[in-house]
Amino acid sequence: MSATTPSTTERLLNPWVRRVFGAAALASLVALVVVGLFVAPPDAVQGDAQRIMYVHVPAAWIAYVAFGVTSITSLLYLWPRTRSLVWDRIAGASAELGVVFTGLTLVLGSIWGRPVWGVWWAWDARLVTTAVLFFLYVGYLALRRVPAATDVRAKRSAIAALIAFVDVPIVHFSVTWWRTLHQQGTVFNEKLDAEIHGTMALALWLGVLAFTVLYVYLLDLRYRLEALDEDRETRELDAAIADRVRGAVGVTS
Amino acid sequence: MSIWREAGIVAGKDLRIERRARVVSQQILPFGVIVLLLFAFALDPDRGVLRRVAPGLFWVTVLLSALLAISRSFGIESENAARDGLRLSGLDPSSVFLGKALALAVELAVFEVLLTAGIVVLFDVHLGAVVPLALAAVAATVGLAAAGTLYGVLAAGIRARETLVPVLMLPVVAPVLLGATRAWEASIDGATSDAWPWVGLLGVFAVLFVGIGMLAFGPLLEES
């Protein structure tokens, strides 16, 4: 592998497949906007605010998928037989998307909560767990930003990702316990799925589809960026070394 | 050499350094007491607010001070290439982990005892059921020490260590704060049966993080 041509592993999807994903993401997002905002009827109880669910639920879904992918790929990196920087890059790219979508979930939930619950934030178990989840992976991303040799950073990050993963059930458990021990019946109404109108269900599934396709597309873009970044670092290092060598030769001759 | 003897050597080393340098006793402990005073300034000390929220304030103070103790614990390894010495010592990384965690736990435990005296005196807290209270503190301390040692080594050798460890560690130890605070609240109220589930949770956290630490410390120490 020469320093000037990027290697083939630096690409997750081939460019043609990526373009298909990009187009599909755009098309399904447009369809989601149309169905979610215009076709689906307003909710009988919540009115138009309920439409936020068409993006809130898919965002939460993708956040879980993204962190799941980070955990699996981190494990694959740590496992000696499957150790490859490919897993490390996917883990990093996916965690970044996970943080974005978790943030989106929290913000959208908050916007929805204001008209429906009357508050921007409630100390509901699920909300608190999601917030902690968000910060767990913000920390992980901060660790990834620390300059270090690629394999050092990869191992460090993989271990941190797995600790975060192990911690999530404990956080969830403790927070649930906390809220249920002290406060009976939160503002959360669990009977939301009683009857869903046909086009409402369609909008929700469309949202899940659109966000999933978008996730794959963005993951690939982010992966490629990461790979190019590493490539640039290597090249700059090579150039610096070459410079140094030339300088040394100039001095001695 | 057994793993516990090796751990004892490492813990002994850390505690000896502390006995001579007195950073924990002369800097971190005063810091903790100052935080208690700050809480009293921030909240009204006359209306029983402090007494009601004392468990939470206590554990927040412990958590903040633990961050300093962790930073100190790995600060001493960064001087004079001590980390290389540790790597070359031939000690099992798991025992190094246990030793460093043990030293940290001992320091935190002493700190907590003194800070408890602080909340009894300053915040007028009556300790109530002492047994679950003490057990919760032990489990929480072990959990904090294990997680702290793990994140300490993870961030060792990183220049932004002091800022990175809090952002990495605080969300992870959120259940410890939650569990210890609830267990203490219940114990102080005398509702012992409410305290035990939280003590159990703290125990699970401690066991889990001691386990993870023993597994992960080797690879992390190698590369820091």
Each residue's pLDDT tens digit, B15-67: 999 888 888 888 888 999 999 999 988 987 777 888 889 999 999 999 999 99
Give the number of A-B residue pairs with CB atoms closer than 8 Å.
Answer: 73
Region at A188 (left for phi over 0; alpha for psi -120 to 50; beta for the rest): beta
Instruction: Determine the structural domain holding residue B92 and report its residue range.
Output: 3-223
Residue A45 lies in a domain: no
Residue with tokens 């080393």: B13
Residue A208 lies in a domain: yes
Contacts of B179 in chain A (CB under 8 A): 174
Instruction: Determine the structural domain holding residue A70 and report its residue range.
Output: 16-39+51-185+202-240
State the sign of the Cα–Cα–Cα–Cα dihedral B132, B138, B142, B145: positive
B-chain residue closest to A161, CA distance: B168
Separation of alpha carbons B103 and B11, rounded Å: 5
Name which of A67, A183, A165 is nearest A125 in CA terms: A183
Residue A141 lies in a domain: yes
Q: Reduce the DSSP state of residue A124 to 3 states and report it.
A: coil
A161 burial via Cβ count (<10 Å: 0-12, 13-18, 19+) = buried
Residue A7 lies in a domain: no
Any chain B CB within 8 A of the CB of A23? no
Pick from B168, B185, B212 the residue to mutate for testing the A interface (most A CBs within 10 Å). Answer: B168
Pick from A151, A156, A175, A180 the residue to mutate for testing the B interface (most B CBs within 10 Å). Answer: A156
Q: CB count, 10 Å around CB of A194?
A: 7
Name the minimum distance, in Å, from the CA of A49 to any CA of chain B: 31
Q: What is the pLDDT of residue A252?
A: 57
What is the number of structural domains in chain B?
1
Q: CB count, 10 Å around CB of A164?
A: 25
Residue A98 lies in a domain: yes
pLDDT tens series, chain A, 253 aa: 444 444 545 778 888 899 999 999 999 999 999 988 888 888 877 888 888 889 999 999 999 999 999 999 999 999 989 999 899 999 999 999 999 999 999 999 999 988 888 888 888 888 888 999 999 999 999 999 888 888 888 999 999 999 999 998 899 888 888 877 554 444 444 455 445 668 888 888 999 999 999 999 999 999 999 888 888 888 898 999 999 888 877 665 5
Residue A91 lies in a domain: yes
Closest partner CB to A163 (pick from B179, B201, B212):
B212
What is the number of structural domains in chain A?
1
DSSP state of B190: T
B-chain residue closest to A130, CA distance: B171
| Three state DSSP letters for B171-214 | HHCHHHHHHHHHHHHHHHHCCHHHHHHHHHHHHHHHHHHHHHHH
CA B212 to chain centre: 17
Q: What is the pLDDT of residue A183?
A: 46
Q: What is the pLDDT of residue A199?
A: 83
Contacts of A175 in chain B (CB under 8 A): 175, 178
Separation of alpha carbons B198 and B55, rounded Å: 14
Mean pLDDT of chain B: 90
DSSP state of A172: H
Q: What is the pLDDT of residue A200?
A: 84
Amino acid in position B78: S
Separation of alpha carbons A154 and A175, rounded Å: 31
Residue A170 lies in a domain: yes
Return the bridge partners of A43, or none: A47
Q: What is the pLDDT of residue B137?
A: 96
Name which of B24, B62, B58 is nearest B145 in CA terms: B62
Each residue's pLDDT tens digit, B110-155: 999 999 999 999 888 888 888 999 999 999 999 999 999 999 988 8
Residue A245 lies in a domain: no
**Percent of the residues in chain B that have a pLDDT greater than 90, as a whole number:** 55
